[in-house]
Every structure is written in C-alpha cells, then in structure tokens.
Amino acid sequence: MKALVLSLVEEEEGRLVNREVSQVSCGSREEPTSLSRAKGNLCVTSSENQGQVPKAKCTQGQKNGLVYKATRINLHKDKRKQGSSRTLKERSEKKGTNMDIQTGQVVRALSPLESLEKQLSCPICLDMFTKPVVILPCQHNLCRGCANDLYDSRNPYHFSGGIFRCPTCRFEVVLDRHGVYGLQRNLLVENIIDIYKQQLESSGGGDGDGNEPPLKAKDAKEPMCQEHEDERINIYCVTCQVPTCSMCKVFGKHKDCEVSTLKNVCEAQKAELKNAIDLLAASKGCVQATLAQLEDASKAVEENSQRQKQRLGEKFDLLYAILEERKAQLLETISQEQDDKTALVRSLVHEYGQKLQASTTLMEKASQSLNNSSVAEFLISAKQLITEAKDTAKNSHIQRPEPGFEKMDHFTLFTEDVEAMLVKMDFGTGGDEDDDDDYEEAEEE
C-alpha cells in the first residue's frame, strides 16, 4: 500500500506547482495539522503558520515523507467519509427519503409534479419557462427573453449575428442576423407547461396533503420597478404615495421625496383598511335597515295603490249606477208621455171611425130612400132622415190634437254642465267620510 501511494505521489510531483509547506524541519516527522486539496494538488499547511512559505528548503526524501503522511491521512478521511455517506444513504433508502451526499442532510422525496417542474425550469432565470420557449442546437431549452438577454450581454454590438454558450452544457450557439428569433420554438415543452398548469389548478395547487409546492412561475415573483427593470420594489414613496425601488430614491424621480419601508407603510395601510372595513360593517347595518324600510315602503305603496284603485273603481261604479238609474227614470218619463199621447190619438181615431161609419150608413139609407121608395113611403121617412143627417153633420166637428202634439223636444237633456264637471273631476283632499257624504247627496238628487 505504501509503495502504491508513493508511486502515485511521484507521478503527481510533476504537476505540483507552488506547494506550500508550513512547519517543516529536516528530519522531523511531525504531522501537519490541516489538509486541503485544490485542483488535484496536495497542500500541507499548519494552523500556526498557515499561508507562509518556510525559509529552509526540504530534501526530496523529507518532502516525500510529508506528502506520504498527508496522502495517507487524506485517504483515511475519504474512506471514513465514504463509509458514513454510504451508511446514511442506506438509512435514507430504508426510510423512503433522499439524502444530499455533499451535505449529509436528509431531504424530502420529490413528488411527480415537483420533478416535472424542475425539468421545466429555465437554467437562467431558474423559474418555469415563459412562452415562447426556444430550443438550442444542443437540444436544451431557454425562455426566449432569457436567451435574448444572454445573447445581448455576449454580443452588445451585434448586427449580423453572434454567439453565446448554452448555460447548461456550454455548447457554443452561433446565431445569424435574426438573433434568438431565428431559433425554433419548442411547442412540445409549451404544451407540457400548459398541461402542468391545468393539472396544478385542477388539483388545488398541491397533492391534497399540503406537500406539493405552489406553481413557481415568473408571475409569482415580486413586482419589479418599471423604471429599473432589474430592481425589486422595496421602499414606499410617502410623498407620491407609490411603491418604488431604491434606485429611484438614489438616482430617479423620487430622490427628493420622503420614503419609508414597505413594512411600515403596509402595516399602516392595513390598519387603515381594517378601520375602513369596520366602517363598512357599521354602515352595512344601516344600509340593511334602510333596505328593509324601503322594502316595507314599497309593499305599503303597492297595498295602498291597490286599495285606492279598488275605491276608485267603486266610485265610478257608483256613478255608473246613478247614471243608469237616472237614465231609467228619464226614459220612463218619456215612455209615459208617449203612451198618453198615443192613447189620446187612438181614442180620437176610434171616435172618428165610429162617426164616419154612422155617416156612411146614413148616406146609404138616404140614397136607397131616394131611389127605391114610393112617394108615400118617401114622405113618411124623409123627415126623419133629414133630421138625422143634420145632427150627424153637426157632430162631425170634434176636438182635434193641438199643433205640435206629436213633438217630444221638451225631453231634450242638457248635460254640458255635468260633462264639464266630469272633465274637471279629480282626486280631492277630503277624507273618505266627506266623499261618502257627497255621493249620498248625489244619490238623493
């Protein structure tokens, strides 16, 4: 084992440069107190004279002895470290957890969504890819915005193209005059991101046990200053009443303004908002009471309107009844006079008819006496016939109806005053009792 280590050390001596050895004395076998390995070179230092180069030079044998001891101690420590790391790893595998070999800390196993999110993270902004996603010739993906920033930083004066290295594999990417806009979009990754976000939203932002972290995207980052895009908003301008960044206070438009910390302003505004919420809660009760009163008033208006409509209908029905009754009375008066006049005319017609019949009979009898009877018979009946004819002629002058007997103009109804009153009819200010009295008087009339 010693020969093997010495042979390895001799091979490394050709590449060892500027080795510092502290607390070295010829013939001394004292072991160094601290060891470190950097870039494949072994360095032996002392806690007392660390970083100092000894004045006395050591021989090759002494140097080999020190290197041998340092290498042996380092190999022993590496072996113990590997054994302890292997033991911790076996224990973590039994428990179903993962272990960081470098730190020795046990970490929680990544869920499928976390693993997918890690694969969908941009190596530049360390956030989830933001559309559009471009694919490099080395098959690694970048946000187009991040790729453009990287390209501009490497080629500030590009006019006909430029180059930059992939941040993942250091592959040299050569671009033409179109820059990163000449790279193809990775539509597959963009679709996977959309599906991932939909799955995360449908699952409520986690796996149901609270172990799934929320979506890590650029939208969840802290707000950035609009004037200085690389600066986060970390102070509040009290003068302008707007949040801003430190650069705006030092060099920007808020350099002469009064500023305060976001925490203090946030607490003050939260307290003010709570007071406003309390005022809203107090006013809410008043508004609810007012709404209840308005609803009651609306119901009362509706009920009163229905009641007044019913009363108005009843009043007009009463007017209709009065008019119908008065109409019937007037029609009855006209009919009565019509019957009287008709009866008078019929009696006169009957009387004239009887007299006409008697005159006709007497005329026929006188005519027969003139034509058919002898002289003696004629003389016997002539005197009586002459007397009857004279009496009948005298009685033919009977009473006749007065002129205009047939007219009914005196029954003309004048309604102009009533019509004017009806047109002017309106809602009065009197009570229901007064209205009832008025209608009773109208009915009596």
One-letter amino acid at 27 equals G
Range among 195-199, 256-260, 289-293, 386-390 rated most confident: 289-293
**What is the CA angle 270-274-275, rounded to 5?**
120
Q: Whole-prediction pTM value?
A: 0.34
Q: Does the pLDDT of residue 36 top 80, yes or no?
A: no
Average pLDDT taken over every residue of the chain: 72
Q: What CA–CA distance (Å, rounded) separates 23 from 49?
A: 7
Strands (E), 319-365: none
User: In this predicted structure, what is the pLDDT of residue 99?
Assistant: 54
pLDDT category of residue 433 using cuts at 50, 70 and 90: low
Q: Does the pLDDT of residue 24 top 50, yes or no?
A: no
pLDDT tens, residue by residue, 50-66: 333 334 444 444 444 44
Say which residue, 157 or 242, is predicted with more confidence. Answer: 242
Q: Does the pLDDT of residue 176 top 70, yes or no?
A: yes
Q: What CA–CA distance (Å, rounded) separates 247 from 255?
A: 9
pLDDT tens, residue by residue, 270-324: 999 999 998 988 888 889 999 999 999 999 999 999 999 999 999 999 999 999 9
Q: Does the pLDDT of residue 173 top 60, yes or no?
A: yes
Domains of the chain, with CATH numbers? 2-95 (no CATH), 110-220 (3.30.40.10), 266-444 (no CATH)
Least confident segment among 49-63, 90-104, 336-350, 351-365: 49-63
Q: Which residues have C-beta within 8 Å of that of residue 398, sequence separation ≥ 6?
A: 348, 351, 352, 355
Strand-pairing partners, residue 96, are none
User: In this predicted structure, what is the pLDDT of residue 325?
Assistant: 94
Alpha-carbon distances of 399 from 10, 250, 347, 348, 349, rounded to whole Å: 179, 134, 11, 8, 11
Angle between helices 262-372 and 375-395 (to 10 degrees): 160
